[in-house]
Amino acid sequence: MAVQQVQLLRQVLFTHATSLGPTFLPDAIVPSDIEPPPVILVVDDEAAVNRVVTRYLTHVGYRVLEARSAEEALERVRRQDPRIDLVLADVVMPGAGGIELAAALLSRAPGPSVVLMTGVLPEDVEQLDVNGQVVRVLRKPLDLDEVQQVLRVMLEGYPSEGESDTVHRTG
């Protein structure tokens, strides 16, 4: 990707991330190489988070949908139009939160993979056990480079580096 495109992406993300506080932008953006691109559903009650993450993931080659609640996300997954490959959800939202959403989604087979994002769980929590399945947890403010790395591992099978072995149980 040309240096000018990366600079433009950084400018766009900074412009739309003002309400998020510090946002870390990746130095190298590597587009997804899966065709057709995986579909990711971003679920956060904060419009600014949805907007920034959606723009970034779209730019790096994913097809991205948005939902503002767990209920809306469950309905989109249930409709399967399009089939959603991965749900990236906030842990704390009005009504059902991301952990409840993950539990509902992981109880279906087959269903989408789930990654949670949070600013409220202790910093050492990198994975949760949700109904016997390991769910990756990303810290807010999001490091977009880390987001892309985690998604590539989950969707494209790229190896991950330095992932914690500690799994925290929910419920």
CATH of the domain at 72: 3.40.50.2300
Total number of domains constituting the chain: 1
Confidence of residue 9 (pLDDT cuts 50, 70, 90): very low
Considering only 38-52, 55-69, 114-128, which range has the smallest mean pLDDT? 114-128
pLDDT digits 0-9 by tens, 83-122: 999 999 999 999 999 999 999 999 987 889 999 999 988 8
The Cα 160–Cα 149 span in angstroms is 8
Instruction: State residue 68's pLDDT score.
Output: 97
- Domain containing 92 equals 3-169
Kindly report the pTM of this predicted structure.
0.75
Considering only 7-11, 46-50, 123-127, which range has the smallest mean pLDDT? 7-11
Mean pLDDT across 27-41: 73
Mean pLDDT across 156-164: 59
Using alpha carbons only, what angle is made at residue 114 by residues 23 and 75, rounded to the nearest 5 degrees? 105
The Cα 62–Cα 40 span in angstroms is 7
Mean pLDDT across 28-55: 85
pLDDT at residue 26 greater than cutoff 50: no
Mean pLDDT across 55-82: 94
Considering only 21-35, 64-78, 82-96, 119-133, which range has the smallest mean pLDDT? 21-35
Percent of the chain with pLDDT over 70: 72
Using alpha carbons only, what angle is made at residue 126 by residues 69 and 82, rounded to the nearest 5 degrees? 40
Question: Which H or E run includes 8?
Answer: helix 3-16
pLDDT at residue 24 greater than cutoff 80: no
Which contacts qualify for 68-72: CB closer than 8 Å, 24 or more apart?
A: 68/43, 68/44, 69/43, 69/45, 69/93, 69/94, 69/95, 69/96, 70/43, 70/95, 70/96, 70/97, 70/98, 70/100, 70/101, 70/104, 71/95, 71/96, 72/43
